[in-house]
Amino acid sequence: MSSASRDVRRLTGLSTEAADPRYATVDRMPVAELAAAMNDADAGVPAAVARALPQIVPAIEGAAERMKAGGRLIYTGAGTPGRIGVLDASECPPTFNTAPGQVQAIIAGGPDAIVTSKEGAEDDPLAGAAAMDDAEVGPQDTVIGIAASGRTPYVIGAVRRARERGALTVGLSSNADTELSAAAEHAVEVLVGPELISGSTRLKAGTAQKLVLNMFSTITMVQLGKTYGNLMVDVRPTNAKLRERAVRIVTAITGADRDEAVRTLEDSGYEVKLAALRIAANIDAHAASARLEKTGGRLRAAIEEAS
């Protein structure tokens, strides 16, 4: 059997490539009926993610431990999964004030592929491996390969190479027992079933990928002490909305009035943790910085030390 025939057979057996007979007449549905059908299909995605939690949780725990040691969280994918990785990674600096490169995404075809489709780039496993070499992936890093089919050569090549280099590897797909799952240390298979438009994995599979990446980035940041309760204390206040959020956070944590919160934030370079600790512990900026350094940036521990 030729390699092309084997590829066709493997694709035919994927649930993400199957045609769901419930949606065989979408081209004849009125808009309201089609919107309801899409909404109904999407409603099953969170349940599919819930079923995969036993796979997701240990992978996040491993990623958090490596990030505590200074490692990075790296997403890699081709096409839609690559773009979803870019989206999640790009939100981490303003939300959690992550260091440059601490959470990053590598997409097949390079940055141009974010806005210009380069679907052929997904077929090169050597390019995926080279991307891991170029990123100098190492034992403290976590690499999450994302591919709805679980068979994308670029992603499999990247995950295999990252594992060879000692990184923790995760394979995120929407099919069972995939080649990507076999390549990764942690297999995360979110089985969402056939898409409303057969094979259009930017739909349910893409939604599942975003939900899972939300978990990875958010939970690892919580584990790193970048929240106080559910407050975004490492927010980077780069605009008026975020500066106002910073004020609300400081007042909520300390009970200070708005004027004191604004004044202390301005004197602290709008670093929320620093301002909150200065007010809560009644200490100056130098002492607050030293205490935060001692607690690894964990605001709750720094405040409790003062009490």
Question: Per residue of the chain (307 residues), what is the pLDDT tens digit?
Answer: 444 444 544 566 788 999 989 999 999 999 999 999 999 999 999 999 999 999 999 999 999 999 999 999 999 999 999 999 999 999 999 999 999 899 999 999 988 888 877 667 889 999 999 999 999 999 999 999 999 999 999 999 999 999 999 999 999 999 999 999 999 999 999 999 999 999 999 999 999 999 999 999 999 999 999 999 999 999 999 899 999 999 999 999 999 999 999 999 999 999 999 999 999 999 999 999 999 999 999 999 999 986 6
Positions marked active-site? 91, 122
Between CA 77 and CA 15 the distance in angstroms is 19
Alpha carbon of residue 278 to chain centroid = 32
Q: What is the pLDDT of residue 7?
A: 52
Question: Which residues make beta-bridge pairs with 75?
Answer: 105, 144
Q: What is the pLDDT of residue 226?
A: 95
- 3-state DSSP of the chain: CCHHHHHHHHHHCCHHHCCCHHHCCHHHCCHHHHHHHHHHHHCCHHHHHHHCHHHHHHHHHHHHHHHHCCCCEEEEECCHHHHHHHHHHHHHHHHHCCCCCCEEEEECCCHHHHCCCCHHHHHCHHHHHHHHHHCCCCCCCEEEEECCCCCCHHHHHHHHHHHHCCCEEEEEECCCCCHHHHHCCEEEECCCCCCCCCCCCCCHHHHHHHHHHHHHHHHHHHHCCCCECCECCCCCCCCHHHHHHHHHHHHHHHCCCHHHHHHHHHHCCCCHHHHHHHHHHCCCHHHHHHHHHHCCCCHHHHHHHHC
CA torsion through residues 289, 295, 297, 302, sign: negative
| Overall residue count recorded for the chain in this entry | 307
Q: What is the pLDDT of residue 83?
A: 96
Q: What is the pLDDT of residue 11?
A: 60
Between CA 135 and CA 106 the distance in angstroms is 9
Query: CB–CB of 245/232 below 8 Å?
Result: yes
Residue 221: how many other CB atoms lie within 10 Å: 23
Lookup result for tokens 């992978």: 59
Q: Which two tokens stand for residue 181?
A: 């799952």
Of the candidates 219, 238, 242, the residue with the CA atom closest to the CA atom of residue 230: 219
Q: What is the pLDDT of residue 117?
A: 74
Q: What is the pLDDT of residue 112?
A: 83
- Burial of residue 215, with CB atoms counted within 10 A of its CB: 0-12 exposed, 13-18 middle, 19 or more buried: middle
Residue 94: how many other CB atoms lie within 10 Å: 16
All domains in the chain, ordered by first residue: 8-223 (3.40.50.10490), 240-306 (1.10.8.1080)
Between CA 37 and CA 89 the distance in angstroms is 31
Query: CB–CB of 189/176 below 8 Å?
Result: yes
Spatial strand order in the sheet of 186-189: 103-107, 73-77, 142-146, 168-173, 186-189
Q: What is the pLDDT of residue 121?
A: 82
Between CA 109 and CA 77 the distance in angstroms is 10
Lookup result for tokens 């004849």: 28
User: pTM score > 0.95 for this model?
Assistant: no
